[in-house]
Amino acid sequence: MRFTVACLLVGSYKAQESTICDSIHGIQCTDADIGYITGVTTHDQCCQACEAHAGCGAWSWNFNDGHCHLHASCAQASNPDYHSGIGSAPSPTPPAPAPPGPSPTGASTIVTFHWNVHWQCAQHAGGDEACRLAAVQRFGELVKESGAQIAAGIEVNGASTSLPGWATSGEYEDAVSVMVAPGWTVQKKGGGQITSGSGSRGVAVMLVTPLQAVYGCPQLCVLGVHPGHDRITGGKSIVDAVCGSIADRCSIAMGDWNVGAGEVRGGSFSSWRNLIGGTPSVVSPDSETCCHPSTCCDFDHAGTNIHGATAGDVKVWGYQLTDKFSMKEEHMPVSVHINLPSVASHLVGNGSYSMLAYV
């Protein structure tokens, strides 16, 4: 009896000794990515990447698309397209930042903020440095108030200086910029001129890895946009150069579109398709936000083409700084909560693990 117990204990101990490079077939780790690699052809490559990454305790390799996902730990789900490896908890493990709070439906939520202050106040070309500095300060205050993780400044020189610790695209035509909160990882960035009638019309774009994994989108293409009043005929090549095919299905964009929400979605302008690609699942708000002192037009929207996303809370502030400056043609600041289905909720909804598909 004693011998039998000893054998069982030894067997149990050896079962727990499996290394992180032991490949488990048909299992996917669904925790948030702490790293992400493409072009991986063997599970050994994925494992080696995990071993070299601080805080990595598990990996999942999709052998169909060659994508390797690195995780601090592994919440296991059955998926025939994946091989995974799970090690003992790494030491030391970097503390995990607090993820965005869940929406009322249990989905994860990303909050956007954007504001077109307009050049007369907030660009150097306007010649009113006091107004520009006040607008930049107010920009930072509103981002903090909104709880945004992605922010875009339109016609604002120096918007990123109000957000210490945030990563920025830099500023492009018409002083357009996009920024992401601390903890988000920027993989690539760029920007330039949108062809949309005459004048300086900009797009700023970054390929980023968010803190919390988004179903189907380990990486996101985030954009600040300001097309002109005419149909977009150029600019998609700028987006594609930064985000590639990810732009077609994993984009979040915000800004002054100079058309209503319906024309962003489709219609004669089809602004989303012409600039970014794919079909938007959210474009919000659809209300008048422009322009001081006479409000007439619904130009300011945030949206996404991520499948299954829904619009959550929307906040539109009144015109800002009007007690001190003329604020000619200023737009109202806008924040949109975008609800994105989590991996777990999507699996429950489908009733099948085989529906998991990462970019």
Tens digit of pLDDT at every position of the chain (359 positions):
333 333 333 333 333 344 889 999 999 888 777 776 767 888 888 888 888 777 889 999 988 877 788 888 888 888 888 899 998 644 334 343 344 444 444 458 999 999 999 999 999 999 999 999 999 999 999 999 999 999 999 999 999 999 999 999 999 999 999 999 999 999 999 999 999 988 779 999 999 999 888 888 999 999 999 999 999 999 999 999 999 999 999 999 999 999 999 999 999 999 999 999 999 999 999 999 999 999 999 999 999 999 999 999 999 999 999 999 999 999 999 999 999 976 544 444 444 332 222 22
Closest CA to 117 of 69, 56, 175: 175
Classified as helix, coil or strand, 184 is coil
H-helix or E-strand spanning residue 350: helix 343-350
Q: Map out the domains of the chain as residue ranges.
A: 2-94, 108-344
- The residues that bridge with 229 in the sheet, in sequence order, are none
Q: Are 311 and 282 in contact (CB under 8 A)?
A: yes
Look up tokens 């500095």; give the residue: 133
Fold of 108-344: Deoxyribonuclease I; Chain A (3.60.10)
Q: In the chain, count of helices (H) and strands (E)?
A: 8, 17
Amino acid at 23: S
Residue-wise pLDDT tens digits, 89-134: 443 343 433 444 444 444 589 999 999 999 999 999 999 999 999 9
Q: What order of strands is seen across the sheet that includes strand 177-180?
A: 167-168, 177-180, 150-154, 108-116, 334-340, 310-316
CATH 3.40.50.11900 for domain 2-94: no
Which two three-digit tokens encode residue 199?
């004048």
Q: What is the Cα–Cα distance from 274 to 267, expressed in whole angstroms?
A: 12
| Lookup: tokens for 345 | 């909720």
**Tens of pLDDT along 198-232?**
877 999 999 999 988 888 899 999 999 999 999 99
Cα distance between residue 144 and residue 201, in whole Å: 27
* Helix extents (H) in 249-332: 261-265, 271-275
Q: How far is CA 71 from CA 29, 94, 170, 173, 283, in A?
A: 8, 12, 30, 38, 32
pTM of the model: 0.69
Chain mean position to CA 229: 26
Q: What is the CA radius of gyration of the chain?
A: 23
